[in-house]
Amino acid sequence: MEGISKAFPGVQALEGVSFRLRAGEIHALVGENGAGKSTLMKILGGIHRPDEGIIRIEGKACSFQGPRDAEAAGVALIHQELSLFPELSVKDNLFLGREITGPLGILDKGAMRKKAEALLARLDLDKEISPETRLGDLSLGRRQEIEILKALGLEARILVMDEPTSALSDTEVERLFAVVRRLADQGVGVIYISHRLDEIFRLCRRVTVLRDGKLAGSGPMEEMDRAGIIRMMVGREAGEYFRPTPHRPGREVLRVEGACLEGGTGGRRRLVEDVSFSVRAGEVVGLAGLLGAGRTELLEGIFGARGGRFRGKVFLEGKPVTISSPREARARGLALVTEDRARLGIFPDFDVTRNLTISSLSRFVRGGILRKSLERRAALDAVEDWNLRVPSPETSITALSGGNQQKIILARWMLTEPKVIFLDEPTRGIDVGAKAEIYNRIDHLARRGLGIVVVSSELPELLALADRVLVLCEGRLTAAFDREEASPEKVMAAAAPGGLEMET
């Protein structure tokens, strides 16, 4: 891939990135969340089309119109969430979409069975797994191997694996590594995306680091060390970020003790385990961690959005409270700006005004009647206060940019007069100008005495905003830093599973 660029509305996702994969090579692709890894791989997989740049496979320039073209050219993507169907058999999964049919379009089950057995044999699985096994009866590690087999069935020469080990146990990881090495020996080029640097050092021969959509470095693994890779991942000019003068926190407004959250079916997995922290009035607490570290889950749990699966003591202004729904959370002075703005934040059928007032309608009721004139006045005030760029309060919210939508949701929660506000990835999908405004706003709210918890995957952003940084890793609190002692390297080391030691 040479000189690949790609822009999404408001974001330059990739800028002139080149990437070279050799046959039989296992090549690590690393970078922070949002660095552009997924976009680059989606371009390779034909899901996105690049604005600039070319893809050559075995020297031939390719232009993919869609995933099918990429598949035909020998590129197979294995996603974080598997794209298999648990209710179907192994055989049916392997041949889904390209079933072998006899005359009259009738499925040739015998032929598929034989080919499935042959595929299973390539990974020595034929003794353990019958093609007729229901996929849902297999462990996650096995399912991953079936997914790889599916790619092999497509005669894939390039295999992209996105965080394949995130849900696997140690023994399953070992097996997977053996499989991947074997494929490489058979001449398949493997692109391996992972946050787990120790895995990368064990498995991969080369590494490419992306940062902010640009190439930050690339080279053979022998020439790299952990500290160097981390530096490449996070090394950004601190000056780009707004750095407020430190806040002067007041008394404690929120304390959480022993927070646990059970997840998955039957609550087998612990998404959050025994996390305790507190927030003071006028303080910005940053929550750092990798994807899946439990940051969103922790906030949603405290907020009552996960119902009874959350356990732990919550104290608001020193008083113990139980919060079993977001409605109770709101009534007690908590606010949550969710990470998934499109799904959980906005009401797409509502205009700006209605989106703004929906959580505090009782303010606009006089004599049992909702007064639209009062609502409109509040909307006009918000447009001015929050510097919203909207034609009128009656504009549909879906017509606005992500930044303006986010400001409306922030304004919505401020109308509920919260004491503590949780901001989950508040600048995700927002252009640079609006980001700066949101930073200013967060700072401003802290100065007005609000307790603020910010989750962000952009480390420099988090470090610039937060008075204190807490680091979560696999559901546990692994470190806490004051503003002065927090550095990207330290935070990353605490966030990476397996206790990444710094070699400095």
Partner 1 sequence: MKRSSPLLAFLRFLERHVSLTVLLVVFLGAIAASKPHPVTGTLTFLRAENLANLARQVSEMGILAVGMTGVILTAGIDLSVGSVLCLSSMTAAMALHPAYFGGHWAGAPAALLALLAGTLAGLANGLIIAFWRIPAFVMTLAMMSIARGLPRYLASNQSISIDGLSPLIDYLGEGTIPGTGIKIVVVIFLLSALSMGFLLGWTRTGRHIYAVGGNEEGARFAGLPTRRILVLVYTLMGFFAGLAGLAHAAQNGQGAPTDGETYELIAIAAVVIGGTSLFGGKGSILGTIVGTLIIGILNNIMGLRGISKEMQLILLGIIIVAAVKLPDLLHWFVFRLEKREKSP
Give the binding site for partner 1 (CB under 8 A): 305, 325-327, 329-331, 336, 338, 343-350, 354, 358-359, 361-362, 365, 368-370, 412, 416
Cα–Cα separations (whole angstroms), residue 17 to 21, 145, 409: 13, 30, 35
Residue placing its CB nearer to partner 1 in the complex, 411 or 469: 411
Q: Measured from the CB atom, is 218 or 355 closer to partner 1?
A: 355
Question: Which residue lies nearer to partner 1 by CB, 354 or 435?
Answer: 354
* Closer to partner 1 by Cβ: residue 54 or 365: 365
Contacting residues for 240 by C-beta, under 8 A, at least 6 apart = 460
- Kindly state the smallest distance separating residue 391's Cβ from partner 1, in Å: 17
Closest separation in Å from C-beta 300 to partner 1: 8
User: 61 with 3: CB under 8 angstroms?
Assistant: no
Token pair 């008083």 is found at 319
Kindly tell me which of 145 and 424 has the beta carbon lying closer to partner 1: 424
Which residue, 279, 315, 330, 273, is CA-closest to 297?
273
Q: Which candidate, 418, 434, 412, 423, places its Cα nearest to that of 284?
A: 423
Amino acid making up residue 342: A
Shortest CB 443 distance to partner 1, Å: 25
Q: What is the DSSP letter of 10?
A: T
Rounded least distance, CB 344 to partner 1, Å: 5
Least distance (Å) between residue 336 CB and partner 1 = 7
Token reading at 447: 């100065």
Q: How far is C-alpha 404 from the chain's CA centre?
A: 22
Q: Are 7 and 49 in contact (CB under 8 A)?
A: no
Using CA atoms, how far apart are residues 243 and 307, in angstroms rounded to an integer?
37
Token look-up 């930050």 returns: 216
Nearest approach in angstroms of CB 348 to partner 1 is 6
Angle at 330 between CA 315 and CA 313, to 5 degrees: 20
Question: How far apart are CB 80 and partner 1 at their closest, in Å?
Answer: 22
Nearer to partner 1, 68 or 372 (CB): 372
Of how many residues is the chain composed? 504
In terms of CB distance, is 130 or 416 closer to partner 1? 416
